[in-house]
Amino acid sequence: MAVSRDSEPVATAEIPHSAGGSARLIPAIQSVLADAQISGRELGIIAVGQGPGSFSGLRVGIVAAKALAYAWRTRLLGIETPTCLAWQARMVRNGEWETSSNRLWVVQDAQRGEFFATSFRPAAPGAPTVVTPVQLRSRNDVLACLTAGDGVTGPAADSLAAEIESRGAHLAPAHVRVPHAGQWIDLVNELVPTPTSRSSDDIDPQVWSLRPIYIRPSAAEEKR
C-alpha cells in the first residue's frame, strides 16, 4: 500500500501474502498514514486492486477500502489488477526491458493448475488498453497465445519462464511482475485526472457498487 502527495509516494508498506495477513491490514494502514503525517479524512481518493486474485484477499481488501471510504467520505476507485501490472511493466525505463510486438500479457496464478491471462497494447498512451479481456486459461492455452516479441508479466510468469522464452516472448523484470501500490500513483492520476468537487459528507457511490472480480466461483461455492 502507499500514500502519495503531489503524485509522489510519501509512505509505503508491504503486507506478506501469508496466513494472518488480513489481520495486519488495518494496523498497516494506520502506520502508513502516520508515516505520511496525514489523516484519513484528508485523503482525496482510495484506490484498491479489484482482482482477479485470491478470494479471501480480494474480499478483505475491498471491504476495508469501502469501509474506510465510507467512514472518511473519500472517493473510491477500483482498478483491475491486470491493469496495474501492465502499467508497472510499461513504466520500466532505460532500455531495461521492452517488447517488439503489440501485445503485453499479464499472467496470474488462478490455482488448480490454471491462470488468469489478459493482454494489453503496451505502447498505447494513457492507461493500459485491453486487447484480450481477462480469461481463465490452462497452462497450454496461455502458452499457445504467445508469439515472438510478446511481453509477459505477472506473478505467475516465473512458473512459465522457460516456455515463454522458448517462444521468443520476453519476461518483464522481476521487480515489476508483482503488484506494488507505490507504482500505481500515476495510473490513478490517469484514470482520475481531475478530482470532482464533492461535499465533505458525500458518500461515493462506489462504496455501494464496487465488487471484486472473481472470474469463477470459489471451490466452496462449486461444491454446493
Q: 197 falls in which pLDDT band (50, 70, 90)? A: low
More confident residue, 132 or 98: 132
User: Same domain for 10 and 76?
Assistant: yes
Same domain, yes or no, for 104 and 143? yes
In this predicted structure, what is the pLDDT of residue 131? 94
Percent of the chain having pLDDT more than 90?
62
Tally of structural domains, the chain: 2
Does residue 32 share a domain with residue 96? no
Q: Are residues 90 and 62 in the same domain?
A: no
* 107 beta partners: 117
Q: In DSSP terms, which residues pair with 114 in a beta bridge?
A: 111, 138
Q: What is the mean pLDDT of residues 98-126?
A: 87
With contact defined as beta carbons under 8 Å apart, do 31 and 211 qualify? no
The pLDDT of residue 35 is 95
- Do 76 and 86 belong to one domain? no
Please state, in angstroms and rounded to a whole number, the distance separating the CA atoms of residues 116 and 156: 9
Residues 116-163: tens digit of each pLDDT: 999 999 776 788 899 999 999 999 999 999 999 999 999 999 999 999
Same domain, 29 and 108: no
* pLDDT > 90? residue 183: no
CA–CA distance, 130 with 104 (Å, rounded to integer): 9
Q: Which domain holds residue 116?
A: 82-176
Q: What's 108's domain CATH number?
A: 3.30.420.40
Say yes or no: 87 and 170 in one domain.
yes
Residues 73 and 183 both lie in one domain:
yes
Residues 48 and 111 in one domain: no
Q: Which of 160, 176, 192 is the last residue of a domain?
A: 176
Are residue 171 and residue 186 in the same domain, yes or no?
A: no
Q: Is the pLDDT of residue 93 over 60?
A: no
Residue of 5 and 123 predicted with greater confidence? 5
The letter for the amino acid at 173 is P
d(CA 209, CA 104): 30
Of 223 and 45, more confident? 45
Averaged pLDDT, 180-188: 89
Residues 120 and 93 in one domain: yes
Same domain, 116 and 74: no
pTM above 0.75, yes or no: yes
Q: What pLDDT sits at residue 98?
A: 65
Confidence band for 182, pLDDT divided at 50, 70 and 90: confident
Render pLDDT for 11-57 as a digit per residue (tens, 0 to 9). Answer: 998 887 665 667 888 899 999 999 999 999 999 999 999 999 988 88
Across all residues in the chain, what is the average pLDDT?
88
130-138: long-range pairs with CB below 8 Å, 24+? 130/83, 131/102, 131/103, 134/52, 134/80, 134/82, 134/213, 134/215, 135/215, 136/110, 136/215, 136/216, 138/113, 138/114
So what's the pLDDT on residue 80?
A: 96
